[in-house]
Amino acid sequence: MTVYFQEQESAHYRFGDNDAEILKVLAQRYIGANPQAGFVYRTFHQSGVLQNKEGLFEIDLSQRFPSAKPGQWAYGAGVVWSDEERNLDIIIRCLGPVRFFFNGSLTYRSNVIDEMSPDASVKLNVTFTKGWNTLFIKMKHTPAGFGCLIGSDEAKVRILNVLAPFKERQGKAGWVFSAPVDKDVVPDETKLPDLFSFEQNSGLSWFPECQWNEEERELPSLERMYGRQSGKLAFAWTRFRQHLAGSHPVNMVITSLGPITVWINGKETVKENKAGHYALELPLFNGVYDLLVKSICGEGVWEYTLTASIGGAPIDLYAPHQVHGSGDAAWLYVGPFQAEAEPELSDLQRTDRLYATTREVKGKADYAYWRLDLPHAWIRPYYENSMLSNKWTVGTMTNYARWDYPLGVTIYGLLQTGRFLHRPDMIRYATEHVQACTDMFEYSLWDAEQYGFPAINQQLVMMKMLDNCGSFGSAMLEAYRECGDNAFLPVASRIADFMLNKLERREDGAFYRTCPGEYSADTMWADDLYMSTPFLRRYAEISGDARALDEAAKQFLRFRNYLFMPEQRIMSHVYDFKYGRATGIPWGRGNGWVLFSLTEVLEVLPETHEDRPALLEFFNELCEGYLVLQSDSGLWHQVLNASETYLEASCTAMFAYAFARGVRFSWLREPNRYAEAAILAWNGLSRIAIDRQGNVHGVCSGSRYAFHPEYYNEDLRTVTNDNHGIGIMMLAGTEVAKLKGYLYNFETKVFS
């Protein structure tokens, strides 16, 4: 039997049959490992290297340096932080001769075929070590091209946050690249850590420029950023601390060349419609104060200075929000606004929204976000340490505020656990995770337009597959039941429109994946029933659009035609239309997704719905097929009909969940057998897969597909605390606990 830890370390050994305690430790471990840290804000110079829609960084030096001569060299450099050792596929497309160094070692040297095939991709598998990792590129100019495109494979999932090297640029986001030089000044054997220390010691000129030039420094700050735009207005935001105990007079001196308004902690303190010099004395108690300034560009000029002191000693101003790479910048700026588009004061002093800078015309307007008084320098939110490996080894990476499909079922599990345990704190944590994504939805769309590829909400914005939207979208609508946040609704409408009107379908209407040029081109996956139907069911409930529920019901019947294995009454993982057949491999979690999702739809499908009888029959067929394959331990195997494959936890949790619901909702023909199987499965999980600290073991990593079972058993190994298993473990526990209560109440009624 598969063993992940000693018996004494199991949740069952510590808590016995106390399901509530096991659920509590599962939820608390996850929340403790994923604190509500939110995004990291960094300085990004838009004049630097942008990403394309695939997420590849475009270092096209022919466009940057059109006067470069053939034979010249240039360099690109960046650093990447990793919390632990992680494996990642790096994609390179050459525009000319390229050499790529990873952590100081030559990892790739282009050949003539690569250099003359700019649309072809080279894939390199690299291992990021714990800590800082260096990326360095040498590029040679030829008449055919100069530079390269580089990034991670599946960039919207495996996010690669490249930061600028050099002490002078510490904390800034993005690659740096050098001006061309006539000969290679960085030999292959150069010790790159020395090169990466200080920019000024490299002997090269690096871009993007991150300081104003001498002429620009002579201009007022707002003019440097926005130019002379008479009648327009801009806001600046800073913060200071009155550090003395009690109340003390704070002296403020303001000189303005135009109209100005100043608010301190939201209270209007200065409002002048003309240029002037103003001295204020404000009695302020000990504490932190936000200072907001509105400046209007009058007669082509906008400029002001502001100083504060207490007892003759200057008070330092500092940035109101931590922005890495901003140096000692104390002010954040947003604008310029047309006068009629001036935002409400209550909407300012926040970083979770965009600001319309022009009046809407036919539903469209221009927008802006906070920036710094540096060349083309904007503030951008990022997921920190969000790089995922090809094995989905999540380890210590924080998942909070991330939109990602495995986290959809995790959020759902937390919501159901919080409800079952009467723990509003757990429910609040789950809903706030969703809100962290949806609050930045409009911003993330704008971010993609500005920079080519979004820094957050990548899968939602670059939505191309059901994986990108269905799972987390379903969890979002489940969270909507708790918080009623109307910001969820436009996101839901976007997802519904994608599924119902834009998603690829077969001639019979079945969802499938086209994925042109990829190994998985023209395939149908059992997983996609989970990626679509729970969302469609919930969207139908909140929108009243019955078409969504009808679509969910019919997809099961369509998928059955392709993937059902009638002799065993289980599902093949994938149907490959390139070969005109199903793979015939019943992967456990793929089957689990099907049965799990079918219970979600049956729960709300009206008794009179035309497809309900067929779906109930399908549910019973599947349950019968799965029941006979359950092992004596209570768990199912990674490949369901291959007992030599390991015992896998996530499919077991989904079968337990579905069996328990099937008994409670009276869908099953032999409920007693399935009640016993569900309880046996949960007991097995608490003995074999859940330890007493709430860690989840025995969950296989994210899957591709194959026509042979060895891939699933040998290549898809288990990962501790993989998000594919944590949420469904909580869902299985809540449903089995409800089943026990149902059985107890049923027996009490029978024998009373």
User: pLDDT tens digit string along 274-293?
Assistant: 888 889 999 999 999 999 99
One domain for residues 152 and 115 = yes
Q: Which two tokens stand for residue 718?
A: 């288990």
Residue-level pLDDT at 188? 78
Residue 728 has pLDDT above 50, yes or no: yes
Same domain assignment for residues 197 and 259: no
Q: Which of 403, 523, 513, 533 is nearest to 458 (CA)?
A: 403
Looking at the domain assignment, is residue 393 inside a domain?
no
Choosing from 162, 187, 207, the residue where a domain stops is 207
Question: Which pLDDT tens digit goes with each residue over 52-62?
Answer: 999 999 999 99
The verdict on residue 386 lying in a domain is no
* C-alpha torsion sign, points 395, 400, 402, 406: positive
Q: Is the pLDDT of residue 751 over 60?
A: no
Over residues 167-192, the mean pLDDT reads 89
Domain final position from 172, 207, 242: 207
pLDDT more than 70, % of the chain: 96
Q: Write down the residue that tokens 């006068």 correspond to.
A: 339
* Backbone φ, ψ for residue 79 (5° rounding): -130, 150
Lowest-confidence pick of 194-203, 228-237, 311-320, 457-466: 194-203
82 with 153, same domain? yes
Q: What is the mean pLDDT of residues 425-449?
A: 97
Which of residues 305, 340, 373 is at a domain's end?
A: 373
Same domain, 237 and 353: yes
Give the per-residue pLDDT at 388: 46
Task: Note the pLDDT tens digit of each residue in 610-642.
Answer: 999 999 999 999 999 999 999 999 999 999 999
Q: Within this chain, do residues 191 and 236 fall inside the same structural domain, yes or no?
A: no
Beta bridge partners of residue 44, listed in sequence order: 173, 378
The answer to whether residues 81 and 131 touch, using CB atoms and an 8 Å cutoff, is yes
Those residues whose C-beta lies under 8 Å from the C-beta of residue 32, and which sit 6 or more positions away, are: none
Least confident of 51-60, 297-306, 363-372, 692-701: 297-306
Residue percentage of the chain with pLDDT more than 90: 82
730 found inside a domain:
yes
Residues 6+ apart with CB under 8 A from 638: 587, 588, 645, 646, 647, 648, 651, 700, 712, 713, 716
Q: What is the pLDDT of residue 391?
A: 38
d(CA 34, CA 396): 8
Say what the pLDDT of residue 394 is.
Answer: 38
Residue 151's Cβ-count burial label (10 Å; 0-12, 13-18, 19+) is buried
Confidence at 194, pLDDT banded by 50, 70, 90: low
CATH of the domain at 71: 2.60.120
- Asked if 321 and 267 sit in the same domain, the reply is yes
Position 154 pLDDT exceeds 60? yes
CA distance 407 to 627: 28
**CATH number for the domain harbouring residue 718:** 1.50.10.10
Domain ranges, residue 318: 215-373
Indicate the pTM of the whole model.
0.93
Q: Do 26 and 128 fall within a single domain?
A: no
Identify whether 2 is part of a domain.
no
Q: How confident is the model at residue 110 (pLDDT cuts 50, 70, 90)?
A: very high
Whether residue 149 is contained in a domain is answered as: yes
Report, in this order, helix, strand and coil percent for the chain, each rounded to 5: 35, 25, 40
State mean pLDDT over 235-240.
Answer: 96
Judge whether residue 393 has pLDDT over 90. Answer: no
How many alpha carbons lie under 13 Å from residue 158 in its C-beta half-sphere?
A: 20
644-656: average pLDDT: 97
Specify whether 221 is located in the same domain as 268: yes
Strand-pair category, 131-140 with 73-82: antiparallel
Residues 20 and 49 occupy one common structural domain: no
Phi, psi for 350 (deg, rounded to 5): -150, 160
Residue 565: pLDDT band with limits 50, 70, 90: very high
What was the pLDDT predicted at 392? Answer: 35
Do 23 and 71 belong to one domain? Answer: no
Is 389 within the bounds of a domain? no
Is 513 found in the same domain as 463?
yes
**Count of domains observed in the chain:** 3
The verdict on residue 1 lying in a domain is: no
**Region 691-696 average pLDDT:** 96
Query: Is 415 contained in some domain?
Result: yes
pLDDT for 449 equals 96
Residues 334 and 417 in one domain: no
Question: pLDDT (tens digit, 9 = 90+) per residue, 64-78?
Answer: 999 999 999 999 999
Buried-exposed string 626-646: b where 16+ CB fall within 10 A, e elsewhere: bbebbbebbbbbbbbbbeebb
When mean pLDDT is compared over 184-193, 300-309, 524-533, the highest value belongs to 524-533
User: How large is the average pLDDT for residues 295-311?
Assistant: 85
Report the mean per-residue pLDDT for the chain.
Answer: 93
Residue 218 has pLDDT above 90, yes or no: no
Strands (E), 640-682: 647-648
